[in-house]
Structure 1
């Protein structure tokens, strides 16, 4: 993989253009133009290679448009490009109106290569989904859920994280799919996973072909609700009810306890705790028994000289 990336990066670097008056340089890919400043050329080339080597996203029928990938050298530049303050935990931003993805420069990129791949696919999915649906309004939960699901965040341990969140009550209420998107990192991560679970539920119901058919019907009828009824045979309210039951049944706390690894881990901890408590109790009990025992040489055995007196044989 590293060899492929290196080769792709070298090919991208050969298409480098001179800087514009603002200091931006660009790398021209097949379907993506990557912009960067200063020393972020390798970061731009790697991101460009990763995106252009990615296969078509599930459910989307047409090839994507030409995109712009901008590597922001600082948080301040990133905020100015977005037009507002980006949360510290947010790794990137997709702006569908400009078909542009903005990612942080290498100097303040906190993640691993695997996280970078997922992040790029997530934002790329936002742009391609927006292009696919045109002027139609995409519900926030569907937009974020599809991007998270398509990026592999769901298959990469997302289901287990959701189980833990639901088990400990750290998830938003499941009474509505229309999630109010939080800005704090942990609640936002759970919201992403909940939204992705809706897409996973739809895919398990009818496969990626069903998802593709749903998107096509949505475009044709220009109605999310009508396409949902036509393809999945449910209104959004019915989908919400069925999805909520599915999530609670599959990812609730009972599922966590039913998992064999979790069960044995909890049982092991419980046994260790019981052993420690039992051992402490036995020590305290022995200490109390020793305190109640008579001494080896009680005072009434002693004569005036302080030595124990032999009581002699018992009298008859």
Structure 2
């Protein structure tokens, strides 16, 4: 009997870390993943995305995961909340918990995705990789999200406009504020994610692709964030934030928009389409007027014939 208490404690601990589902799910196992979904075809789709993304991130970081990652694709909001908790923002469609090697996704069959499902899957997997690299130590939220977006290649034309608007209206978010992104409304959160992507891209471009790994490795060893930045890029954390903020303010302004050849061509394309539609509408109006005039002439001719 003296062993009963530890055994019960272990069982309770295991139960707390297992997803609390009351239904049977399709399970697909690979060397790296244990995938659960209601739909077998969806499980296979997730497997293909995960394995492809896994190879790409391993190649990028030159590091792999040591444990199998459990992936759950859920069909309802209730199931999602039961796994991620009530504090998760309502605009979220995926969640990664690196300390538990766990990814939870809302099913694309049941929920609306505003970007490709593959990007979301890769995004969450990137969080698992960075969590493993950091060994559970705190990593700035913008760095975590920016790395995930960089790996999933999440960038759309509209994001340029969003950052430009933020610069012109003075509403650029300091990187330190992105720590509270889960409390943001969706539009502000999207700006936070976009800035995170730009910050990580800037680090890679200015200081090399090994920068993130080196920086996170320093943090994993217990180095303060100031010293980690100093050892990695030669300036402290605050200096980098100011440097990055200056960069986006210089890049995303009216002059840069006008000087961006790609955006100019996009603008010209919209202008051409607009002028075409305007011309077409005007032509229809003229034809209608001619038709009415012709009908009027016919009536006059008919009236004249009747009089004679």
d(CA) in 1 for partners of 2:91 and 2:85? 17
Aligned ranges 1:142-181 → 2 under 5 Å: 142-153=143-154, 156-157=155-156, 160-169=157-166, 172-179=171-178, 180-181=180-181
- Normalising by the residue count of structure 1, what TM-score does the alignment of the two structures yield? 0.69
d(CA) in 2 for partners of 1:76 and 1:47? 21
- What is the Cα deviation at residue 176 of structure 1? 4.5
Structure 2 unmatched runs, 5+: 1-20, 279-308
Compare CA radii of gyration and give the structure with the larger one: 1
* 1:102 counterpart SS class: strand
* 2:136 counterpart SS class: coil
Does structure 2 conserve the Cα–Cα contact (< 8 Å) formed by 1:171 and 1:191? no
> In the alignment, which residue of structure 1 is the partner of 2:138?
137
1:165–1:175 CA distance, 2 compared to 1 (3 A): same
Q: Could you give the per-residue CA deviations for residues 10-62 of structure 1, whole angstroms, max 9, x where no partner exists?
A: xxxxxxxxxx974233111110000123xx12112210121012224275342
d(CA) in 1 for partners of 2:87 and 2:104? 13
Q: Could you give the per-residue CA deviations for residues 134-177 of structure 1, whole angstroms, max 9, x where no partner exists?
A: 12111212111111122111xx32xx434311333378434454
> In the alignment, which residue of structure 1 is the partner of 2:52?
53
Aligned ranges 1:1-316 → 2 under 5 Å: 22-37=23-38, 40-54=39-53, 55-57=55-57, 60-64=61-65, 65-84=67-86, 86-111=88-113, 115-153=116-154, 156-157=155-156, 160-169=157-166, 172-179=171-178, 180-181=180-181, 182-263=183-264, 265=267
Does structure 1 conserve the Cα–Cα contact (< 8 Å) formed by 2:69 and 2:102? yes
- Normalising by the residue count of structure 2, what TM-score does the alignment of the two structures yield? 0.71
* 1:145 counterpart SS class: helix
Does structure 1 conserve the Cα–Cα contact (< 8 Å) formed by 2:99 and 2:136? no
1:227–1:242 CA distance, 2 compared to 1 (3 A): same
d(CA) in 2 for partners of 1:150 and 1:46? 19
d(CA) in 2 for partners of 1:260 and 1:60? 33
d(CA) in 2 for partners of 1:123 and 1:29? 18
Does structure 2 conserve the Cα–Cα contact (< 8 Å) formed by 1:175 and 1:244? yes
- What is the Cα deviation at residue 184 of structure 1? 2.5
Structure 1 unmatched runs, 5+: 1-19, 277-316
Does structure 2 conserve the Cα–Cα contact (< 8 Å) formed by 1:177 and 1:195? no
Please provide the CA RMSD for this pair: 2.9
Q: Could you give the per-residue CA deviations for residues 110-151 of structure 1, whole angstroms, max 9, x where no partner exists?
A: 238x71111111100111111111121112121111111221
Query: Which is helix-richer, 1 or 2?
Result: 2
Q: Could you give the per-residue CA deviations for residues 247-279 of structure 1, whole angstroms, max 9, x where no partner exists?
A: 11123333112223544637996xx99xx9xxx
- What is the Cα deviation at residue 238 of structure 1? 0.5
